[in-house]
Amino acid sequence: MKIYFPAECPEYCARDLVVAFAAQVDGKRVQCAITAQALEDHFGAASLREDDLLAAFESNRHPIEHAARNLLHEIGAKPMLLHSGYFRFCE
């Protein structure tokens, strides 16, 4: 399975309190996201404000994409959401 993450800006979704980002899995675009809680709990987001969440994502893009890659290997080319619990389990 070939997975890569396009160099695109992540997008904050206030309704769901997530930061969304894209992956390409075997040439198929897949929507990925990480919860605001995970960004606060594990990646130093100072608050639920959009600026703080996006800054935490950008500062930690590599480990977040690494976790997303691992999960995509498990579930295949399906939309996925990284919760705080996923990082607690992996630590």
Over 70: is that where the pLDDT of 2 sits? Answer: yes
- Structure token pair of residue 77: 């080319």
The answer to whether 67 touches 86, Cβ cutoff 8 Å, is yes
Better-predicted residue by pLDDT, 35 or 85: 35
Give, in order, the Cα–Cα distances in Å from 39 to each of 1, 24, 30, 65, 88.
27, 22, 20, 13, 12
Q: Give the separation between CA 83 and CA 63, rounded to whole angstroms.
A: 14
**Can you give the pLDDT at residue 66?**
96
Domains assigned to the chain:
3-90 (3.30.160.140)
pLDDT tens string 6-52: 999 999 999 999 999 999 999 999 999 999 999 999 999 999 999 99
* Residue 31: its H or E element: strand 28-35
pLDDT tens string 58-84: 999 999 999 999 999 999 999 999 999
